[in-house]
Amino acid sequence: MRHSKTGRQLGRNASHRKALFRNMARSLLTFERIRTTEAKAKELRKVVEGLVALTTSDTVHARRQAYKVLENHQLVAKLFNEIGPRFAGIQGGYTRVVKLGLPRAGDCAPLAIIELTRRSGAADGGKPAAVEAKAAPAPESGAPVEA
């Protein structure tokens, strides 16, 4: 019986899940935002939150632990030198899972976007630039509209 077993199996064996989440963690830390299924995004959140939490103590041991998951020296350097300092003083909540309204076309799987809450290039608390952009002012009521 499967009592008190946490985590999703996602229809894969343990080694396949481990490889899946390693690859997805690499992609998320590289691009800082990826689109995937809701279940994978929720499980990936656990992996990435742990990796970002390692950056609070920038020690050789912490870097080696991150390398065990990422297996990429450049990505470990990015994690500790760029991503980690953005979350200094914060104890959790490093990622955000946003559910998309439309399911995937082929199998109707619910999709989500997982992203870092404080992304590079986004100003004022990690909000995307598209959200912060203001709409163009409306033309005056008497002015002719140019097409």
pLDDT tens-place string over residues 4-61: 889 999 999 999 999 999 999 999 999 999 999 999 999 999 999 999 999 999 999 9
**Residue-wise pLDDT tens digits, 92-137:** 999 999 999 999 999 999 999 999 999 887 654 545 444 445 555 6
Evaluate whether 130 touches 122 at the Cβ level (below 8 Å): no
Give start and end residues of each alpha helix (H) in the chain. 14-31, 38-54, 60-70, 73-78, 84-86, 129-132
Torsion sign, CA atoms 56, 24, 69, 44: positive
pTM metric for this prediction: 0.79
14-118: what fold?
Answer: 50s Ribosomal Protein L17; Chain: A, (3.90.1030)
End-to-end Cα spacing for the chain: 68
CA–CA separation, 104 and 64 (whole Å): 37
Domain ranges of the chain: 14-118
